[in-house]
Amino acid sequence: MMQALKVAPLFAVLAFASPASAESDARAVEAMRLFKAFCVVTEGSSAKANLVLGVTNPIAAKLPDAVVTGIYGVPGGLGWAIRSPSDGIFLLGYNPAGICEVRIAEAAEGSVVAAYEALVGELAGNAEPTVGQSRKQGDATLTFRSAQLKSSGRTSAIALTSSDRRIGEHQHLITFAFVKPQN
């Protein structure tokens, strides 16, 4: 069961201390904190992001509607470019289909996967995420992982597409969406 978090400044969300190994990439940990606070806890609602990030924020820049439309291919989404305390570069976005996402420009893949698995364990009682097939895209190897969670009587999915290298503007993508029941 997900618990509601009080609205906190973005810096506090990213910088909140938690145990991490010396080998972990701080950008991965910060991205997962951002994802949890703005996608999982809020169940993908953009209202909290609007409250916390607004139009002006020292570490988050709201993207113009035209840029967000270019990212998603259709109008109606929201997005912020965020620079974390460890110089991580993230895109927090809400696409028009109701999917909340965090794109990570660059971070060590092993650290991103470890942070994702820790989040899934925390949310789903230490359940292991499902690992999908890996595939090649150019020189990069992409791997898809997902987990389903119960929230507010509905089933949601959190998924990670990780890569061993950057492809275009980002290297990793984490998403939250509700799963439609099959008829």
What's this model's pTM, rounded to 2 decimal places?
Answer: 0.83
The pLDDT tens digits for 34-44 are 999 999 988 88
Instruction: Judge contact between 135 and 147, C-beta under 8 A.
Output: no
Distance CA 39, CA 37 (A): 6
The pair of three-digit structure tokens given for residue 178, joined into one six-digit string: 């509700």
Residue 74 predicted with pLDDT over 80: yes
Q: How do the domains of the chain map onto residue ranges?
A: 10-178
Residue 58 predicted with pLDDT over 50: yes
Phi, psi of 112 (to 5 degrees): -65, -45
Q: Residue 177, Cβ neighbours under 10 Å: how many?
A: 18
The pLDDT tens digits for 155-177 are 888 999 999 999 988 999 999 99
- What burial class does residue 183 get, using C-beta atoms within 10 Å of its C-beta: 0-12 exposed, 13-18 middle, 19+ buried? exposed
The pLDDT tens digits for 85-140 are 888 999 999 998 889 999 999 999 999 999 998 898 888 764 556 767 889 998 99
The pair of three-digit structure tokens given for residue 136, joined into one six-digit string: 């090649």
